[in-house]
Amino acid sequence: MERKLVSPVVIDDVQPIEGADLIEVATVKGWKLVIKKGEFVTGDHAVYCEIDSFLPVKEEFEFLRKSSFRRMGEQEGFRLKTMRMRGQISQGLLLPIRLLDGYTYQLGEDVSAHLGVVKYEPPMPAALGGIAKGNFPSFIPKTDEERIQNLSKEFESYKQHTFYVTEKLDGSSVTYYMNEGLFGVCSRNLDLEASEDNSFWKVAEKENIAAKLAALGKNIAIQGELIGEGIQGNAYGFRGQTARFFNAFDIDAYRYLGLEEFTALIASLDLQTVPILDLNYTLPATLDEMLTIADGASVLSPQGKSVEREGLVIRSTDRKISFKVISNKFLLNER
Ligand code: ATP
Ligand code: MN
Ligand code: MN
């Protein structure tokens, strides 16, 4: 699912911030953000821009220059990041509805194009690029996870489910598949031509993944996170690259394997899963608590050093519910 970066919303709440006279904290779904005092009140409609929005250089956004000016390739703009002001975490931006120029909007629809907002994407190293053989295969779902802040309505009903929790690794998504005898290596969005310089292919060779999948004798895909040198700053301090898997997909049945089947398969292939932190997890009372729980040290922290984990991925045992909880501590460190 494409992310709705910018959408008209109802402001769910506005509260004072202790010790601050000029600013207040607004709640929009599961998000908290700092606004100017009196700018909005509870119940107002506004245009909400999520973190990672890249706003165009326009007069009405110039107030963002000091905090948020960025280049993205050739483009200049303003990148919205997680911030902390007066101890209050602030994620995203609320803009007055009038910026939509009288457009008849629906709450929740994506209006990023109206404002010229795109997603901020950090530059991608060449070893993770490569030449596309084609688009991502249509017979396998792309990897993705919704943010818990956008599931605040569902949170209450999720409490009756039992979940398993894995650490969210900060790398690059990889899919390896064997379909009708054809082995494929895909990055997040592309099916990649074989290449010695490409990190996704290097790991496939090193781990002998084509042969391992072929030996299973069926059409199958495994999906994971590529981590290590040259990937997202390699906070884990790995030599070379490696993959940690979080999905196995039965292509013929068009279905993900359940947790037990999945872990058994990955073990039988002599590969590794992402760190599994809890197999019998129930949600805390509030979404705010959930966010605090996401903070913590990565299981993959290098010896003698503690690195902030990116967050958690939480899935119901039946796999019908799945979402990510990104650590705000991690986001505050992001550059
Ligand atoms: P966004 O949609 O928030 O802009 P994004 O979709 O580009 O960001 P991420 O925030 O990295 O990507 O979240 C989804 C990705 O998380 C998946 O595509 C997958 O590659 C990765 N991931 C890392 N660790 C895990 C894990 N333990 N379980 C599932 N996915 C994981
Ligand atoms: Mn996404
Ligand atoms: Mn990621």
Distance of CA 57 from the midpoint of ligand 2 (Å): 25
User: Is 1 a residue whose pLDDT tops 70?
Assistant: no
SS3 for 233? helix
What is the ipTM for the molecules in this complex? 0.97
* Average pLDDT along the chain: 97
Going from the Cα of 301 to the center of ligand 2, the distance in angstroms, rounded, reads: 25
Verdict on whether the full-model pTM lies above 0.90: yes
- The finding on whether 310 has its CB within 6 A of some atom of ligand 1 is no
Is pLDDT of 2 > 90?
no
Q: Give the pLDDT confidence of 104-147 residue by residue, as tens digits.
A: 999 999 999 999 999 999 999 999 998 999 999 999 999 999 99
| CB 120 near ligand 1, within 6 Å | no
As a whole number, mean pLDDT of residues 63-71 equals 97
Separation of alpha carbons 127 and 55, rounded Å: 28
Question: Nearest CA to 190 among 175, 210, 207?
Answer: 175
| Distance from the alpha carbon of residue 279 to the mean position of ligand 2, in angstroms | 24
